[in-house]
Copies of this chain bind each other. A is one copy, B any other.
């Protein structure tokens, strides 16, 4: 059944609008195509709302937010909300600066998100309204492990309830939660943390998954998280002695490109929590 959610992306080829950072934007575009979706990027106030109207989903990533693109995030988000499009928030580095924290909080207040995805430090900073995020990587102290899983799942569910969004916390263990249920995904590989953009790419992918599976956002997010994690495993398995993180990045996108619904079903490692 998880496989279907992925196959629907390939079948429906949703157009996904990304207002995202310029560091990993190319990887986001290519992973969307790898999954069967179609990317479009625009972050100008005069263009964003109109472009988002022809799309099925909007991925807002604040990785390199700035005075010029902020209004476009709000305008596109409002338009997408009006049209009941899928809207995802990736609050990159929230907690690391006032601008990031204020922006993420403002977006949360003014827009309705279908999915919110971040690492444990980001989601904590976002939910608790402050925090001391150390840049764009999760703080070790915030890492979700087997021993901290239960409170983390409770926290994710609560935040999902409060926001109405499916909350995705990624790390060694990934948590996907809505207000009433949560799924823990143990797919993935530490190598995914050795490239820039794993998180951004997943956010783009989750937007496509949700857009292609209206009415099934929660399970589409589980499918997307499993797909990305499984691709991370397959990409690592493919590495040879001289390969490093640059080749790994390519293998990761390649693995999404070649991932079938049935391979996803066979490889997904989920457990309800």
Binding site for B on A (CB under 8 A): 15, 21-27, 29-30, 33-34, 38-47, 50-51, 54-55, 63-68, 93, 96-100, 134-137, 194-197, 234, 238, 242-247, 249-258
Contact = CB atoms under 8 A, between A and B. Distances in A.
A40 B136 contact: yes
Contact of A246 (B30, B54, B135): B30
Given A96-B54, A196-B39, A244 B34 contact: yes
Nearest to A102: B46
A64 B135 CA distance: 23
Contact of A67 (B40, B46, B55, B243): B46
A200 to B, nearest CB: 11
Contacts of A39: 23, 136, 196
Contacts of A247: 250-251, 254
A66 B44 contact: yes
A142 to B, nearest CB: 15
Contacts of A54: 96, 134-135
A4 to B, nearest CB: 21
Contacts of A234: 242
Given A34-B245, A255-B244, A43 B64 contact: yes
